[in-house]
Structure 1
Amino acid sequence: MSSPLPASTGATSVPALRRAVAILDHLAGTSDAPSMAEIARALGLPKSTAHGLILAMEEIGLVKRMPGAGFRIGTHPLRWAAGFLSQTDLVTSFNTYFARERDLARFTVTMTVLEGAEVIYIACAPADQPLGVTFRIGMRLPAPFTATGLALLAARSDDEVCRRLEQGFPAPLTENSLRSLPDLLAEVERTRARGFSIDDGQVRQGMICLGTVLRNHADEVVAGIALSLTRPEATPEVIEALGATLVAAGRDISGQLGHDPTA
């Protein structure tokens, strides 16, 4: 659910741009096709402001008018997504590696980047056997609940983890989801000690995910990768073996990105 726009900060703020992005974020987060009035109400915008922005956004293809006077995201943002994916070595390295290496072919493997307190899915190598879960490119999930998110947070300091969650802890997705910042910090510490993260049914009941990070030439953590398996498959021995295999894959992909662990 969208929240009203925060107060503008800084003299360089551009209110119209902020509002347009908020409208796109709102439309991306709903399966409905809300009307102008509903968008304005959800974001706390004056109706006249929302009306002018949405008409301009419709004209350039950022939003699309649906039957019944509702709106959804248009096709223009797809150009930006395609541009981002084509300009990053992350997706190319991920796809190249998992097309060649088949050790994890029976598992769905995903890649995300961290943005604030969420992860954004930017690549997926589907399993040979269907998992029953669809990971859509561009999908966002709370970082504390996902294997990639936990791995990415564990690679940062506790202070940074706290800053990323200072706006509040996300609502749980399942009964297994973490419930508080202290719970998250404890799980982050377990992830560091173990060497890889475990999402034990936090996103979907009955699904276990293991995660690790990717680093670039400057030793910066740039993305996370995770594999997914079902609970019946996830014996302690299997988790330990798959975790080691995933960490090795992460090292190999990081090497493709120019990372040198000995430097």
Structure 2
Amino acid sequence: MRATRDTGTLDDADLRASDEARNLRALAVIERLALAGQPYTLSQLASRLAIPKATLMRLIEALEVCGYVSHVPDSRGAERGLSLGPRAARLALVTLANNNFTRAARSLLRALVDRVGETVNLTALDGDEVLYIERVETNEPLRMQMHPGMRVPLHCTASGKLFLSQMPAAQRREVISRLSLRRMTPRTITDASLLDAELDRLAARGIGIDNEEFVRGMVAVGVPVRAPDDAHVRAVLAVHGPTARVTLEQLMGLVPTLRETATALAPLLDWQRASKEEALAKREQAEKSHAANFAKDANDANDANDAKAGRTEGAKAV
């Protein structure tokens, strides 16, 4: 059945075009949030994607129900913006688990565990949290069970503190202001000024330390993994163990060994060599092209409807 202005119905071709437009917009939202590295407000997202706010709001609601988008609260519980949801993270992890980067990284981490005797993990900064990318457990019976895909706080973990310590001062203060600084153990640093001072000390040493700040009885040390020809910290390689078996000082003695593996991991980050700014620029160019196509499709559809309406009116007159 063809569309008419009277009925407002769409024929099959119009429906397919409408579905394709919605699907492309949904993918554009997911890609934008994935590349942003920080939450977006609805207004920012609408501006970036050239999508009307009302349309975007309906799209966000559908993506949120499916678990692809989440609302991110600030430390006071007020909404701060939109970020990728847990289902998007799981999809990314499944992809990573089956690519060459993860297989090669896992091999290096296994070799490192054989050398140091404790659990090691590779993490990335994801918004205001630390995301476990890969992890290899020690064979020792006493260990903390975690797995890739889990998220841990920034302010009280070796990886998180290292990421924070490497940020420019203004960015670091902004991020810390958003964190709840929840007390996880008696050793957790919950004062922003004290945490900032601790991060300055860690920045000078180029490492991250967790001295029973996240889990009581567990200590950890992390070193940065930098992409080739790039000063930016792309990931953190960390080792941790229970104080019943290892001391923080002993883990500190493993830093040179950790750095060796971090150096070996760095070339594997070639898949991420293009900077986030370059990726966003490419995404913006594609989004503008999509927006132009959407506008053209809408105009063509309106012209077609006007023509059909004219034919209908002519038929009625006859």
TM-score bracket, normalised by the shorter chain, equals 0.5 to 0.7
TM (norm. structure 1) is: 0.67
Aligned to 2:265: 253
Aligned to 2:61: 19
Aligned to 1:169: 180
Matches within 5 A, 1:170-185: 170-185=181-196
Once the two structures are superposed, residues 94-126 of structure 1 have per-residue CA deviations (whole angstroms, 9 ceiling, x without a partner) of 21212334212x211111110222101111111
Aligned to 2:316: none
* Structure 1 unaligned residues grouped into runs of 5+: 28-41, 45-61, 63-72, 259-263
- Larger mean CA deviation between 203-212 and 177-186 belongs to 177-186
Contact 2:143 2:242 in 1 (8 A): no
Aligned to 2:208: 197
State the SS of the aligned residue for 2:237: strand
Aligned to 1:92: 103
Q: Please state how far the C-alpha of 1:21 moved relative to its aligned partner.
A: 5.1
State the SS of the aligned residue for 1:254: helix
Paired AA for residue 191 in structure 2: S
State the SS of the aligned residue for 2:253: helix
Aligned to 1:135: 146
Cα distance in 1, alignment partners of residues 122 and 254 from structure 2: 16
CA distance 1:203–1:127, change in 2 (3 Å):
same
- Larger mean CA deviation between 226-235 and 140-149 belongs to 226-235
* Structure 2 unaligned residues grouped into runs of 5+: 1-38, 71-76, 80-84, 271-318
Greater fraction helix: 2
Q: Please state how far the C-alpha of 1:187 moved relative to its aligned partner.
A: 1.6
**2:239 is the alignment partner of 1:239:** no
Contact 1:109 1:226 in 2 (8 A): yes
State the SS of the aligned residue for 2:234: strand
Contact 1:209 1:229 in 2 (8 A): yes
CA distance 1:16–1:173, change in 2 (3 Å):
farther
Once the two structures are superposed, residues 77-106 of structure 1 have per-residue CA deviations (whole angstroms, 9 ceiling, x without a partner) of 7444312444572x33421212334212x2
Cα distance in 1, alignment partners of residues 188 and 63 from structure 2: 29
Once the two structures are superposed, residues 149-193 of structure 1 have per-residue CA deviations (whole angstroms, 9 ceiling, x without a partner) of 111222221212122233243322222111022122112112123
Q: Please state how far the C-alpha of 1:237 moved relative to its aligned partner.
A: 4.4
CA distance 1:7–1:125, change in 2 (3 Å):
closer
Cα distance in 1, alignment partners of residues 229 and 189 from structure 2: 32
Aligned to 2:119: 108
**2:234 is the alignment partner of 1:222:** yes
Cα distance in 2, alignment partners of residues 154 and 25 from structure 1: 30
Contact 2:224 2:236 in 1 (8 A): yes
RCO comparison, higher one (Cα < 8 Å, 6+) = 2
- Larger mean CA deviation between 154-163 and 116-125 belongs to 154-163
Cα distance in 2, alignment partners of residues 191 and 77 from structure 1: 29
Paired AA for residue 144 in structure 1: H
State the SS of the aligned residue for 2:167: coil
Cα distance in 1, alignment partners of residues 170 and 233 from structure 2: 17
Contact 1:95 1:125 in 2 (8 A): yes
State the SS of the aligned residue for 1:212: strand
Cα distance in 2, alignment partners of residues 178 and 246 from structure 1: 25
TM (norm. structure 2) is: 0.57
In angstroms, what is the RMSD of aligned CA positions? 3.3
Q: Please state how far the C-alpha of 1:130 moved relative to its aligned partner.
A: 3.0
State the SS of the aligned residue for 2:145: coil
The structure 2 residue matched to 1:122, chosen from 133, 143, 160, is: 133
Cα distance in 1, alignment partners of residues 217 and 63 from structure 2: 35
Cα distance in 2, alignment partners of residues 154 and 86 from structure 1: 32
Q: How many residues align?
A: 211
CA distance 1:7–1:249, change in 2 (3 Å):
closer
CA distance 1:116–1:78, change in 2 (3 Å):
closer
Aligned to 1:70: none
